[in-house]
Amino acid sequence: MAEGKRLEELAELVGGTLRGDGSVVITGVASLEEACKGDITFLSHPRYKRFLATTKASAVVVSPELADTMAGRNLIVVQNPYLAFARIMASIGPTRHPSPGIHPSAFIDPSATIGEDVSIQAGVFLSRGATVGNNVVLYPGVYVGEDVEIGADTIIHSNVSIREGVRIGHRVIIHCNSVIGSDGFGYTQVGSRHVKIPQVGTVVIADDVEIGACVTIDRATTGATVIGRGTKIDNLVQIGHNVKIGEDTIIVAQNGIAGSAKVGNNVTLAGQVGVTGHLEIADGCVIGAKSLVSSSIRTRGVYTGYPLGEHKRWLKAQTLVQKLPELKEKLKELEERLEKLEKK
């Protein structure tokens, strides 16, 4: 671990208010349960206050609402403890990537363009006409197809395949075993046979996007499949051909987004959401886990379920579902009483 930083330095780094001994040296970061002397941790929710009695952390990043209940501890008080803690983690223990250089086993086509301070690891394959920007890191086994463009400061982890013509922006992170630019799933039926439609478009990944492990993003039939700036995609997500995803959107694991769907800015798709093709999701929408979006959503809101509905109504419906057996018995009882009255 690094030499560490004084607590007062970290408070200044994150714009927080220091309480306690600012000269304490912080050498590591950890959770409340796992922290040791020299570590800094954070508390952002009251439910975890029970760990304060046993934590060995030298300091805690905490919100103003919780700080007054933690007298006697070294604190950094900020409005967003999680964000501050992330900045401290980057400061104390930055992620270490391979040093610049090209491994002897990497294949680089003579027509490829390589920027400055690039790290190209063992088994990387750079095809004809590929362009790699400054400070890019290509981990072992990365495949870069013909005429691919990779922007500066991008990190591509092991065994990622980037197919021909794909354009990737600056500061993008792509995790292991993802495939960018595979053919879209396009066929037309002739009699009993399925005839492949050529997929001649591309994929455009904008700046500051992060793509998880084992994600597949299909190239467009024509034009481009687009992932907007700042969007974050979790592991095991499938994005179909000609999909357009806006900026700063969150897509959680095991989502499937069918071809030509348009997802707006600042949308959140929770785990295992399905989005059918050729529809639109408005900016700012939140779609609950395991939901199916089968028609366009034009109004910002929180939606859940299948069939999809406004979240609060869905919760009420779920409450009624739990009561259906009792309601059935009650209905049966009322029917019997009505039948007896009609016989009189």
Decide: helix, strand or coil at residue 94.
Answer: coil
Residue 307 has pLDDT above 90, yes or no: no
- pLDDT, position 94: 67
Per the CB < 8 A criterion, the answer to whether 293 and 274 are in contact is yes
Tokens for 290, please give them.
């395991």
The confidence score (pLDDT) of residue 47 equals: 87
Domain layout of the chain by residue ranges: 5-92, 101-312, 317-343
Q: Is pLDDT at 239 greater than 60 in this prediction? A: yes
Runs of H (alpha helix) within 19-172: 64-67, 81-92
Q: Could you say which of 97, 175, 241, 278 is catalytic?
A: 241
Q: Please confirm, yes or no, whether 241 is among the known catalytic residues.
A: yes
pLDDT for 165-210, tens place per residue?
999 999 999 999 999 999 999 999 999 999 999 999 999 999 999 9
What's the pTM value of the predicted model, to 2 decimals?
A: 0.87
CATH number belonging to domain 101-312 = 2.160.10.10
Report the candidate in 212, 202, 296, 226 with the shortest Cα–Cα distance to residue 254: 212
Confidence at residue 288, expressed as pLDDT on a 0 to 100 scale:
96
Looking at domain 5-92, its CATH architecture is 3-Layer(aba) Sandwich (3.40)
Mean pLDDT, rounded, of the chain: 95
